Amino acid sequence: MDIEPEFWVRVLLLNDVTECTLKIASPFSVISHDPRVPGVRNYSDRLNVPLKIEMSAGTITVAGQPLTDSEAIILPGAPYIFNLNGNDYR
């Protein structure tokens, strides 16, 4: 990622929230927060499409695809804006 971690936006699902909706207008990737967990998922075909992110039994799923870590990093492409539950973040 070409931006320093102190400028990242961290989103924590609180108060028993088990799902949210993500929408990004640029190609993006999802990687594990733990650098020891391999794998990058690229979403270049899901531009401006609402995707459901869910947490169930300790597993995060993005658009129905389970992640292998309990934390994920979403890397949007330029202009680095994503929409989470109707709110834009940069």
Q: What is the pLDDT of residues 33-56, one digit of tens each?
A: 787 877 788 888 889 999 999 988
85, two tokens: 């539950």
Tell me the pLDDT band of 22, cut-offs 50, 70 and 90. Answer: very high
What gap in Å lies between CA 32 and CA 69, rounded to an integer?
6
**60 near 67, Cβ under 8 Å?**
yes
Higher model confidence: residue 57 or residue 1?
Answer: 57
pLDDT for the residue numbered 57:
82
Q: Are strands 28-32 and 19-23 parallel, antiparallel or unpaired?
A: unpaired
Q: In total, how many domains does the chain have?
A: 1
Structural domain for 46, as ranges: 5-89
Min mean pLDDT across 1-5, 17-21, 70-74 is at 1-5
